[in-house]
Amino acid sequence: MRWEEAWRVVGVLDREAVYGAHRGSDPTLDELKLLRLMRWSKTVSLLENLVAVLLVLLMICPPVLLASPVELGEAVRGATMLYNVLLFMLVFMVCSTSTLALQELGYLKVLLQLPLGPEDLKKVVMAYLIHEVAPILFIPPAYAVVVAERLASIPAFFLALAYGYASISLALVASISLSMVLWKKRGLVKGLRSKLMRAFWNSL
């Protein structure tokens, strides 16, 4: 499976999620209404993500931008710590919700019944998670630019960028691990746990 196909599968999953959420309350739901609902759902989701990203940037950037030269070092350290914590928490919450939604909506069971190998499953799961956290991925470069500009240091840009994406990666690992524990307690079959975990670790 190519990545383009994995993204198309994610699009189908989004479509099914919207359809499943409205089919019970709207017996007249047709293709045209479904398209409108999908556009509305994407618009609302985009606005929510943009607001979340903006709020994070407003919390971490002003202390660095407004710090005096004497206080700049301390301001960068404090803002960077907050930056790492916020990224971890935000990605952890989004990915935990998304991975659990995959199971609750029955999508993983459907995918595992298809002729998909471990690599294919990996691509679909990772494409789905990337789709969910995509706006958050723009926070590290934005913050890194602010830090590098204030410190007048190119290495600071790459260091801040690395810290951010390291926090995101750790949050992904933690969210998948939590999902595995919860799915195990709910009696999910061993094959599904092993395939999904292997798919995730192979994707890192």
| Residue 174 domain-assigned (yes or no) | yes
Task: Please tell me the distance from the alpha carbon of residue 199 to that of residue 202, in angstroms, as a whole number.
Answer: 5
Q: Which domain holds residue 198?
A: 47-203
pLDDT above 50 for 179 = yes
| Residue 144 domain-assigned (yes or no) | yes
| Residue 138 domain-assigned (yes or no) | yes
| Residue 28 domain-assigned (yes or no) | no
Residue 42 host element (H or E): helix 31-66
| Residue 104 domain-assigned (yes or no) | yes
Q: What confidence tens digit (pLDDT) does each residue in 16-75 have? A: 666 555 565 656 666 676 677 767 777 777 788 888 889 999 999 999 999 888 899 899
Q: Write phi, then psi, for 71 (nearest 5 degrees).
A: -95, 0
pTM for the complete prediction?
0.75
pLDDT above 60 for 196 = no
| Residue 84 domain-assigned (yes or no) | yes
What are the residues whose beta carbons fall under 8 Å from the beta carbon of 82, sequence distance 6 or more?
59, 60
3-state secondary structure 154-187: HHHHHHHHHHHHHHHHHHHHHHHHHHHHHHHHCC
| Residue 20 domain-assigned (yes or no) | no
In the block, residue with structure tokens 């017996």: 27
| Residue 190 domain-assigned (yes or no) | yes
The mean pLDDT value for 6-10 works out to 74
Provide the number of structural domains found in the chain.
Answer: 1
